[in-house]
Amino acid sequence: MVGLGKIGLPLAVQYASKGLTVTGCDIDERLVGDVNEGRCPIVGEEGLEERLAAVQAAGRLRATTDTAAAVASSEVVVIIVPVGVDEDHRPGLSALDAAAEAVARGLRPGALVVLESTVPVGTTRRRLGRALEEGSSLRAGADFCLAFSPERVYSGRVFRDLQTYAKVVGGIDEVSTQRAAAFYGRVLDAEVLPVRDAETAEFAKLAETTYRDVNIALANELALCADAYGIDVAEAIAAANSQPYSHIHQPGVGVGGHCIPVNPYLLMHGPVAEVSDSSSLRLAAASRQINDAMARYGVERLEAALGSLQGSTVLILGLSYRPNVKEAAHSSALLLAAELRGRGARALVHDPLFSPAEIASLGLEPAGELPPPRIDAIIVQALHDAYRDLDLGSFAGCRALLDGRNALERQRVEAAGMKYLGIGR
């Protein structure tokens, strides 16, 4: 298992729990040490601590920083390392390239290599396959099998999702597809869904996450319209979705995480960008712009309610991109803080899952203990369970609350003496 992050380690534990002997590889020496000593390095992943301890005690999982040596003693190699985008939204594949180089040094004839990192279409065959061939002197499809199978799980509920969602598998040839499907059939309890080739599997992952981004962008545009008409968009969407062909998502102050804000760009910057004009993906591009602009829209609503943000102090509740998960990748809190600072406001960020030092490391100002001495407004960015019973009346002098996830009751906010602002409400 190459990559022991928030998804890779649970996968390694899953495979080991099915009776396989698993070696987890990572460049983080501390993480490797934790795994070998039976300490769970990931917080908040349901069932991981207990399962990790069980497979460790059974001697079925160990970790190492020597990827090449681990690959040399393995029949199956699964790669799941970070792939993101840079400031220009171009794919960042350096971690995958480094993993490919290490895997190639230990690759042996007859092995099966499966990539699970989300990547642009064609990456498995063209980039990973070529790197493995060049570094090992073996031929993909002849000397070793190569396939792509996208991860389709959420942090915090990986083991549940592995039992629920079909496992899509596509190889660079028929034998690779069959080998990969047989492997996943052995280690998972969910349906295994073979597709024609690796490119189809890569495209399927990008399609499903781009669909969600486009759907959220539609919900956000409907929220803007609802605000203009004086309509509660939450009520309207619920009514629309009572029709079985309507599946409108929910609006908010932005979309975060490793997948939805990133994968549309991986689709846009794949081979299609080389063979057609950009208009072929204009809906995906527009959706990214709409969703990233929602933080500005929310702050503008707050500014209008207060008259001005200049010299004000605003508390952002929730650094995580979604409730109850310690993950700040592409969090809307970052965009909200930037918009507030651009209007002369002081932006404080609070999150019970992050230490003040972790918040500050992202260029944000930690709020410290709640409530802060004085704030003018609150923005709910991620409604953690810890916030649900928050005494809003304790925030003396706070004049307005922007419910960025439409998760609070208006009456509760107004009873605390604050003006309630929602997204499309």
Please name the helix (run of DSSP H) or strand (run of DSSP E) that holds residue 148, with its range, or none: strand 145-148
3-state secondary structure of 128: helix
Q: Which of 167, 205, 326, 398 is catalytic?
A: 205
Q: With contact defined as beta carbons under 8 Å apart, do 168 and 205 qualify? A: yes
Task: Tell me, yes or no, if 419 is annotated catalytic.
Answer: no
Provide the angle, in degrees to the nearest 10, between the axes of the packed helices 282-306 and 332-342.
50
> Whole-angstrom Cα distance, residue 150 to residue 129?
16
> Whole-angstrom Cα distance, residue 414 to residue 408?
11
Under DSSP, the state recorded for 278 is: G
Q: Which of 6, 25, 167, 259 is catalytic?
A: 259
**Taking the mean position of all CA atoms in its chain, how far away is CA 76?**
26
Task: Tell me, yes or no, if 259 is annotated catalytic.
Answer: yes
Please state whether the peptide bond connecting residue 251 to the residue before it is cis, i.e. omega within 30 degrees of 0: no
> Whole-angstrom Cα distance, residue 213 to residue 291?
8
Q: With contact defined as beta carbons under 8 Å apart, do 189 and 162 qualify? A: yes
Listed residue (405, 371, 407, 418) closest to 390, CA to CA:
371
- The catalytic residue positions are 205, 259
